Amino acid sequence: MADLDALRSRWLHALLPAREGAGHPDPDRYADDLLRRWSEPQRRYHTLAHLTAVLDHVDVLEEYAADPAAVRLAAWFHDAVYRPERSENEERSARLAERALTEAGVPASRTAEVVRLVRLTVTHAPADGDRDGQVLCDADLAVLASPPSAYAAYTAAVRAEYHFVPDDAFREGRAAVLRQLLALPRLFHTPHGRRAWEATARYNLTGELEMLSPGGGRAP
């Protein structure tokens, strides 16, 4: 069970340093809205636990970010809108971030950076010099380097989110995603991510792909 008070505190830690000036709306109203969104019943993987994990990983990678406050805000918004049957979740999340952060008193330049980062999670392909993008993408994909039991729980949660997809179609689609990830020259872009997570993530992805292949021995 997620610690909602701790998450509210982390929201304040993300928002307050990013604001400028005075007379802004109560920050708790935005926390309440985001926590409600991340608690929606259709979520099985993209839950408060995932949000917490991404924030934890951002803390680990903070030294590599150019604007840690923007990265933390992007972590809060990156899956704030999530419907597994729809393909525009990132774009709708980015638009939500733009509206909410502008109203909350975040300057236009930093709001634009948060919006850009949220949209970057469509591809998880930050440019070589994109320090903030590298931190957010690495934090979001760090689950791929989980220990075996945690990785199994992750894949089961992903399958549960897509419960409406028939087994054969899910197996085919998931395998395509895994092949696409394994074809990337690197999954992680920060020095810590490459050192601590790359090899384990590739091992996990390869094992899952083998299990999804015909005769692999398990249903997704």
pLDDT of residue 220: 32
| Cα 164–chain centre separation | 22
Distance from the first to the final alpha carbon of the chain: 25
Closest CA to 73 of 7, 118, 135: 118
Tokens of 14: 């993300």
Angle at 74 between CA 73 and CA 79, to 5 degrees: 120
Sign of the four-CA dihedral 22, 26, 31, 37: negative
User: What is the full DSSP assignment across 67-125?
Assistant: -HHHHHHHHHHTTSS--TT-S-HHHHHHHHHHHHHHHHT--HHHHHHHHHHHHHTTTT-
pLDDT of residue 216: 60
| Cα 59–chain centre separation | 14
| Full-model pTM | 0.94
pLDDT of residue 21: 79
Contact call for residues 202 and 151 (beta carbons, < 8 A): no
pLDDT in tens, the chain (220 residues): 679 999 999 999 999 999 987 788 999 999 999 999 999 999 999 999 999 999 999 999 999 999 999 999 999 999 999 999 998 999 999 999 999 999 999 999 999 999 999 999 999 999 999 999 999 999 999 999 999 999 999 999 999 999 999 999 999 999 999 999 999 999 999 999 999 999 999 999 999 999 998 766 443 3
Contact call for residues 107 and 42 (beta carbons, < 8 A): no
Instruction: State the Cα–Cα distance between residues 156 and 80, nearest whole angstrom.
Output: 21
Closest CA to 189 of 152, 147, 140: 140
Sign of the four-CA dihedral 157, 162, 166, 172: negative
